A and B are shown apart, each in its own frame.
Chain A
Amino acid sequence: MKARIEADLPFYFGPGRELFGFYHPAPAASGTAVLLCPPLGAEQIRCHRLYRQLAHGLAEAGFPVLRFDYYGTGDSAGRSRDVDWARCLADVATAATELRARSGAQRVLAFGTRLGANAALDATDAVLAGVVAWDAIADGAALVSELDRMQDALKVDLNRFDQARPELDVRLEWQGFETTEHLRTQLSGVGLPPLGPRTAWLMSKASDAALERADGQESAAEAIDVEPRWDDIDRLEMAILSHPLIDAVKRRLREMA
């Protein structure tokens, strides 16, 4: 196990080497590799550990894995206010190409969380053979409203601040990350695509739209309860960890491979 972790490689890739990635080679590589698409904002940091554990588990199961950060997120180049949804989709495609080149795999499956699931589903240029989507966003406008509501609550949270900050404009940032009108507009239009790659749906709370889509694709949605919840501002810095989720993702990816 330790020797394999040492083989995991952090690196920069893509045009201008602007994207940060972490490649996990598989000891016995199959013809299928897995791309892990992170969520955005505070959710990306909260899921970092979970993605690392998942990557190790998948590599042990024979899948080469690439984790990566979109432009303007994580260790990749760009400022947080530079995050652009179209660029995120392009980065998924760039990462899929990098994964094919490094692993030699012909087929690439993806796992994504929240907006990371939408990015995998929407990135047609990535030519993904299948996606495991956890809590994909069915209604982007509702997500934007929810993030605004959380920011409104956060700025007057006296468990966090010594004095409330009611004067701050909630439209300028969401839970630690600057945002722009452009990104707000882009995310408001995010939803589940009418046609996409073969998809397995995992949900940590009821989502009617996603459930309908899952039924439409004749693929049962699987409920995974994970704490803390995405909208819990008291635990904004707390990692989200779940072995049941990791087991479910591995099982679903093995079924697709």
Chain B
Amino acid sequence: MHEQAFRFGSSRHLVGIVGLPPVIDHGVGVVLLNAGMVYRIGPFRLHVDLARRLNALGYPTLRFDQSTIGDSGAGGKLLARPEQVVADVGEAMDLLHQQTGCRRFVLFGLCSGAQNAHSVAHADPRVVGAFFLDGYGHRTLGQRLRHYLPRLMKASVWRQWITRKHAAPQVRPPEPAFVVEPLPGKVVGGQLADMLARGLKLDFVYSGGVSRYFNHVRQFRECFGRLADHAGVSVSYFQESDHTYVLSGDRQRLLDHVAQWMGRHFPVTRPG
């Protein structure tokens, strides 16, 4: 393991960890964005494990805290949040370039991190690929049918529905800590088409933890139509996993998936 801690950015307000492979081939670096408000190590240390796995495969990495998250402070300029995200990730890519020489970048984002990765991938030409975990998608007729039809066949569901009508209202479980605010599907689809036209490789991974809006690998086509056929698009649905990959076996499977996807689309010429 060779990692270095940095305070960086035009206002020196950002904090991150650069992970270096034993040999750098000046190819592609990977930048890991905050998942919700979790600081740079990621949910249950997912980003640390992933960064080190990628370093061992030969990819330089940067896991960092965006402005006002984790150990990072506020930027010096008054920017709206979306512009601040693009500026922060841009400065993160600057740092990784200074430290490793790589000029092309793949972004990794979970939940709001996927939303942010989408914005940056659309705005910054240095981005050549992105992992969107539980990112954009919306409920479709197919999603509703897959959700409700099996339940209609279960006697226990009917029994529960009837008893609930006579019972006191239940306390709702807390809202999930991670929520992606939807952009209109047409806007998202248009931006994805722009990225693919620029040659980006995009990997969409959905977990069973977001089955309230996405519950089958086929749903990507229901949401975004012919984009699903594009050679630059990969879609996976990890139904067993929860939204933050709390189980180590699920995290391992995700890491394997990321490593394979990187090897397929951005092979390292001189592996670490």
Contact = CB atoms under 8 A, between A and B. Distances in A.
Interface of A: 2, 5-6, 8-12, 20, 22, 42, 45, 48-49, 52, 73-75, 77, 79-80, 154-155, 159-163, 165, 168, 172-173, 175-178, 234-239
A52 B71 contact: yes
B209 A160 contact: yes
Q: Which of B1, B71, B73, B244 has the most CB of A within 10 A?
A: B71
24 contacts: A6-B12, A8-B71, A10-B71, A22-B71, A45-B39, A45-B44, A52-B70, A74-B48, A154-B246, A160-B246, A161-B240, A162-B239, A162-B240, A163-B208, A163-B240, A168-B247, A168-B249, A176-B244, A176-B247, A177-B45, A235-B174, A235-B177, A237-B178, A239-B37
B13 A6 contact: yes
A236 B70 CA distance: 17
A10 B247 contact: no
Contacts of B240: 161-163, 165
A154 B41 CA distance: 22
Given A75-B48, A162-B208, A234-B174, A12 B239 contact: no
Contacts of A11: 5
B130 to A, nearest CB: 23
Contacts of A77: 1, 3
A59 to B, nearest CB: 14
Nearest to A154: B246
B173 A80 contact: no
Contacts of B209: 160-162
B239 A163 contact: yes
B246 A176 contact: yes
Interface in B132-188: 173-174, 177-178
Interface in B7-56: 7, 11-13, 15, 17, 36-41, 43-45, 48-49
A2 B177 contact: no
Interface string B185-222: 00000000000000000000000110100010000000
Contacts of A236: 246
Contact residue range for chain B?
A: 35 or more
Judged by DSSP, the binding face of B is loop
B44 A177 contact: yes
For the complex of A and B, 7 pairs with smallest distance between CB atoms: A162-B208, A176-B44, A10-B5, A160-B242, A162-B211, A176-B246, A159-B173
A27 B37 CA distance: 29
A225 to B, nearest CB: 18
B77 to A, nearest CB: 13
Contacts of A178: 248
B4 interface: yes
A103 B76 CA distance: 29
Given A173-B248, A234-B173, A5 B5 contact: no
A173 B41 CA distance: 18
Nearest to B211: A162
A165 to B, nearest CB: 7
Contacts of B71: 8, 10, 22, 52
A75 to B, nearest CB: 6
Nearest to A72: B45
A80 B248 CA distance: 10
Contacts of B6: 10
Interface string B225-245: 000000000000001101110
A122 B177 CA distance: 35
Given A74-B48, A160-B209, A160-B243, 11 more contacts: A6-B11, A10-B17, A12-B4, A42-B44, A45-B41, A49-B39, A74-B41, A75-B3, A77-B1, A160-B246, A237-B38
B67 to A, nearest CB: 12
A45 B215 CA distance: 29
